[in-house]
Amino acid sequence: GFYIGSAVAGGGHHLEQDYPDPFTHDGKYRSILAQQFSSVSPENQMKWEYIHPEPDRYDFAMADKIVDFAERNDQKVRGHTLLWHSQNPEWLEEGDYSPEELREILRDHITTVVGRYAGRIHQWDVANEIFDEQGNLRTQENIWIRELGPGIIADAFRWAHEADPNAELFFNDYNVEGINPKSDAYYELIQELLDDGVPVHGFSVQGHLSTRYDFPGDLEQNLRRFDELGLATAITELDVRMDLPASGKPTPKQLEQQADYYQQALEACLAVEGCDSFTIWGFTDKYSWVPVFFPDEGAATIMTEKYERKPAFFALQQTL
């Protein structure tokens, strides 16, 4: 009843220039993914720009392969994601649609994508990163909220629930590990939605951490307050990046600190009853998104580029 997951590097995205899709082409990657994890999350392949590349065309090829792989290996799948401000196709962001049309586009998308995998998805990140650091809705960046107003969030959950009544439906974000204005905003919004009978089932923290900052020591307390609302909680995208020395190789001390962060995150989730899904955002430094998005930082996962187990790997293993 406790699921340890990894993001699946299915190609495209930050690896585009460098690699031909690790999930398909790297046998070692595939076998570790199959053996070490009981849950998988497509890192990109269920995002709009991949799964809905043209107005009237969906592309389920990679998402299907990942879901099939998970079933063959007796793994859960976390679906990611349906309503987000990022990685939307150009046709959508640049399109000249009326509010009525946009609403229909979102309804059709959620119904089609969630419906296709109905019964096969453990948890869906329905809404991703809708608040900024101050706890304000991203009314400018997020096309849905900007064009349709905040009420669209509830609709997204309702449509997803109709399409797959068995999937647990989540809000997911970063920098909400601790108790702060951003996680407070979720806490308030979710209570309102629950009062209105909207099918919201979970709150998840991504967990993109850095050894530059202290570990968010109130993670457990934060998860617990959502747990007490009757929600499932989860850690969905854990990685712990660090400033790399000139050699490019982390020092033993850095690796210990990283292991300690991984361990604390897992302990927090294990301590909270309804936190039964713990996912790391990739398991090898070889394909991690971190060096591409955070200049001079890296080595954020639990295995080296050569698949050697780092202290963080053993820390998780021992904690379980």
Which residues are marked as active site?
129, 237
Compare residues 43 and 132 and give the one whose CB is closer to ligand XIL: 43
> Minimum distance from CB of 181 to ligand XIL (Å)?
19
Binding test (CB under 6 A) with ligand XIL, winner from 26, 43, 220, 276:
43
**Binding characters for ligand XIL, 257-286, by CB under 6 A (x = yes):** ------------------------------
**Structure tokens, 134:** 């101050």
Q: Is 45 in the site for ligand XIL (CB under 6 A)?
A: no
Closest to ligand XIL by CB, 131 vs 311, is 131
- Rounded Cα distance, 45 and 258, in Å: 28
Q: Can residue 206 be called a binding residue for ligand XIL (CB under 6 A)?
A: yes
Kindly state whether residue 14 participates in binding ligand XIL, applying the rule CB under 6 A: yes
Amino acid found at 155 = D
Q: Any idea what DSSP says for residue 245? A: P
Nearest-CA neighbor of 288 among 249, 239, 231?
A: 239
Whichever of 212 and 228 has its CB closer to ligand XIL, that residue is 212
Name the nearest CA neighbour of 236 among 170, 291, 297, 148.
170
Give the residue, chosen from 44, 45, 142, 258, that forms a contact with ligand XIL under the rule CB under 6 A: 44
What are 25's two structure tokens?
């082409």
281: helix, strand or coil:
coil
19: helix, strand or coil: coil
Maximum CA pair distance of the chain? Answer: 56
**Residues lying near ligand XIL in the complex (CB under 6 A):** 13-14, 43-44, 128, 174, 206, 237, 289
